[in-house]
Amino acid sequence: MTIYRGNEAVDAEDDRYRAPALDKGLDILELLASVDGGLTQAEIARKLGRSPNEFYRMLDRLVRRGYITRIDGDRYSLTLKLFGLAQLHAPTRRLASYATPLMRDLAQRSRQANQLAVFDRGSAVIIAQQEAPDYWGISIRVGSHVSLFDTGSGHVLLAFRTPGEREMMISEHVKSREEVTLTPDFYARLDDIRLRGYAMMASAQIAGVYNLSAPILGPDGKGIAALTCPYISLVNAPNAPDITTTISMLLKTAAQLSLLAGSDIPQDS
C-alpha cells in the first residue's frame, strides 16, 4: 500500500518504522553536505519544506555533538566529524591492508621505517606501520594520535585539502586539544608542500630525524592519508639510499597507493 506525504509517495510498510527525529537530523546533514558556505536556520527550513521552529533543537544537538558548526553568526555548516568517522570505516581498513605489502617493500628498499596516517577528530592517527629491516629505525604504534601542526603527516593531511576543510580540521584539533597560534608562514608552508607534492621537515620530537611525507590521494584528488618515512642517516650502512633517493621511493609508493584508492591524478615518481 502506498500513502502520500505532501507530494512524496511513501510505502506504508516502511512508514511504520519511521523515526521522525532521526529523519530530521539526517535531512539536515544531507542538505548541508550539498551546499557550500552553509545555510541559516530559515534557509534550512525553507529547503526542507518545514517551519524554522522545528529545527532549533535538532540544530543545537548537531552542533553540540560536533557534526555541524555555526559560521558567520547565524549560518550552519558541516564539520569534518563525518569525514573523520569515515576514515576509520572499512575503506580505510582496506587501504591499510592494501598498503601493507607496498609499505614493506618501501621499508626494504629504503632501509627506513614508514607509517600511514589519516585524519580523525582533530589528529593524525596511525593506521599502519612498517618497521625498518635493520637494527635501527624510528617506529610509532598503530593507533597513536599525532599533532597536525608539528609532524610531516599532519602537514600533508592539511596541505592536500581545500582551504575550508583545512580550517575545519584545525578547528577540530584546537577544540579537542590546545589553543594554538598559526602564523601566515605556517599556511605558506602548507601551500609549498602542496605545490612540491611532499613534505620534508626536521622532526620536532627526535633530533637527527627528518620526516618525509607524501599524500595518498582519493578519486577527487584530495588527500585521504599521508605516508611518512622518519628518515635517519645510517652511518653503519654505506649502501643505504640517501635522503633524495628515499624521497623518490616514497613518492612512487604514495602514487601506487593513490591508484589503489581510486585516484587517477598523476603524482611525481
Question: According to the model, what pLDDT value does residue 158 have?
Answer: 95
Question: According to the model, what pLDDT value does residue 92 have?
Answer: 65
Q: What is the pTM of this model?
A: 0.66
- Where in the chain are the domains? 2-78, 84-260
Question: According to the model, what pLDDT value does residue 85 have?
Answer: 62
In contact, 149 and 174? CB cutoff 8 Å: no
Question: According to the model, what pLDDT value does residue 185 have?
Answer: 92
Strands 145-146 and 123-130: antiparallel
Question: According to the model, what pLDDT value does residue 218 have?
Answer: 84
- What are the cell numbers at 70? 555555526
CATH of domain 84-260: 3.30.450.40
Q: Which residues have a Cβ under 8 Å from the Cβ of 97 and sit 6 or more positions away?
A: none
Judge if 2-78 and 84-260 fold alike in CATH terms.
Answer: no
Residue labelled with grid coordinates 610509532: 140
pLDDT along the chain (269 residues), means of 10: 44 62 86 84 88 84 86 81 60 77 94 92 87 78 86 94 86 63 89 95 80 91 92 76 94 92 60
Phi, psi angle pair for 229, to nearest 5°: -115, 115
Starting at the earlier edge strand, list the strands of the sheet with 114-120.
145-146, 123-130, 114-120, 223-231, 210-217, 199-202
The CATH class of 2-78 is mainly alpha
**Burial (CB count within 10 angstroms: exposed 0-12, middle 13-18, buried 19+), residue 173:** buried
